[in-house]
Amino acid sequence: MENIIGLDDIEEARKTLNNVAYNTGLVHNTTFSEMTGNSIYLKMENLQKTGSFKIRGAFNKIAHLPKKYKKKGVIAASAGNHAQGVAMAAKAYGIKATIVMPKHAPLSKIAATRGYGAEVILHGHLYDEAYEKAREIQEETGAVFIHPFDDPEVIAGQGTIGIEILEDLPDTDIIIVPVGGGGLISGIAVATKSIKPDIKIIGVQSKNMPSMAESIFKDRITTVDGMPTIADGIAVKTPGKITFEIVKRYVDNIVTVDEDEIANAILLLMERAKVIAEGAGAASVAALLNRMGQLKDKKIVALLSGGNIDVNMLSRIIDSGLVKSGRKVFINTLIPDRPGTLGILLNRLADTGANVLSVTHNRSSRDIPIGYAKVELELETTSEEHIEEIKELLSLDNYSFVIL
Q: How far is CA 41 from the centre of its chain?
A: 17
- Answer left, alpha or beta for residue 39, where phi above 0 means left and psi between -120 and 50 means alpha: beta
Q: Which of 39, 186, 211, 305 is catalytic?
A: 305
Q: How far is CA 254 from the centre of its chain?
A: 16
Closest-CA residue to 298 (of 204, 205, 203, 199) = 199
User: Backbone phi, then psi, for 402, in 5-degree steps?
Assistant: -130, 130
Strands (E), 26-129: 26-28, 39-44, 74-77, 97-101, 119-122
Q: Which of 39, 43, 54, 61 is catalytic?
A: 54
Q: Is 328 a catalytic residue?
A: no
Q: Residue 187 contacts by C-beta under 8 Å, 6 or more apart in sequence?
A: 5, 10, 57, 155, 156, 157, 158, 159, 160, 161, 162
Count how many residues are written for the chain.
404
d(CA 99, CA 119): 6
Q: Is 54 a catalytic residue?
A: yes
d(CA 140, CA 157): 28
Closest-CA residue to 287 (of 217, 172, 228, 201) = 201
Please say whether the beta carbons of 353 and 382 come within 8 A: yes
Q: Which residues are catalytic?
A: 54, 305
